[in-house]
Amino acid sequence: QQQVKQSPQSLIVQKGGISIINCAYENTAFDYFPWYQQFPGKGPALLIAIRPDVSEKKEGRFTISFNKSAKQFSLHIMDSQPGDSATYFCAASKGNQFYFGTGTSLTVIP
Amino acid sequence: NAGVMQNPRHLVRRRGQEARLRCSPMKGHSHVYWYRQLPEEGLKFMVYLQKENIIDESGMPKERFSAEFPKEGPSILRIQQVVRGDSAAYFCASSPPSGRNTEAFFGQGTRLTVV
């Protein structure tokens, strides 16, 4: 059972464009929603995270939008750069256990 | 994060052999989590351990898989009698004594190939 559904599976964006990745969850007990960035051959690294008491969090070019009523959250990468090309995972956690989405492979073309 | 050390980085085993994956947490961290990443899939939680204790093993397959985190030394994920379906990347994460996974950092993973 997929607790967190992520889309799209892959995304190609022109340099300078906006990359948008969406996630949806079912369990309302989740209380922490991080995004991880993973480069080939590396482990996931925490990128940005949000708690359900806020609707938006911005860190540099990265923004999380959170819609509690719809049980959805999304990652926006503004002014996308070729160095942003990686796989992005959303996750939802409750206590010590994370549930990850299936990942989005982002390619930013120059 | 380079602070969490996993070895080996790559492991090849024949069907029926045993695989041992090691994870040394970041300095000062006493909580370890193991995740499995199958091709084209996200990361799936396997087990959460503290020193000498298994806290949550709800994601571990019932047979052939075991994990430990001894008082001294790294955490070990052991897979007995490996099968082709065990081929995956196995990631370890660690967090400090507060135990909140929000502060967890991942290692670079061990890629297991069963031939």
Q: What is the DSSP string of chain B?
A: -TTSEEE-SEEEE-TT--EEEEEEPPTT--EEEEEEE-TTS-EEEEEEEETTEEEE-TTS-SSSEEEE--SSS-EEEEE-S--GGG-EEEEEEEE-TT--GGG-EE---EEEEE-
Q: In which band, very low, low, confident or very high, does the pLDDT at B1 lie, cut at 50, 70 and 90?
A: very low
Q: How do residues B3-18 score in pLDDT, each as one tens digit?
A: 899 999 999 999 999 9
**pLDDT higher than threshold 60 for residue A57:** yes
The pLDDT of B95-99, averaged and rounded, is 71
Q: How do residues B49-88 score in pLDDT, each as one tens digit?
A: 998 999 989 899 999 999 999 999 999 999 999 999 999 9
**pLDDT higher than threshold 60 for residue A34:** yes
The pLDDT of A48-67, averaged and rounded, is 95
Nearest residue in B to A40, CA atom: B108
Interface of A with B (CB under 8 A): 4, 6, 32, 34, 36, 41-46, 49, 89, 91, 93, 95-103
Q: Is B7 at the interface with chain A, CB within 8 A?
A: no
Percent of chain A with pLDDT over 90: 77
Contacts of B41 in chain A (CB under 8 A): 102-103
Interface contact flag, A101 B42, Cβ < 8 Å? yes
B109 Cα to chain A: minimum distance (Å): 6
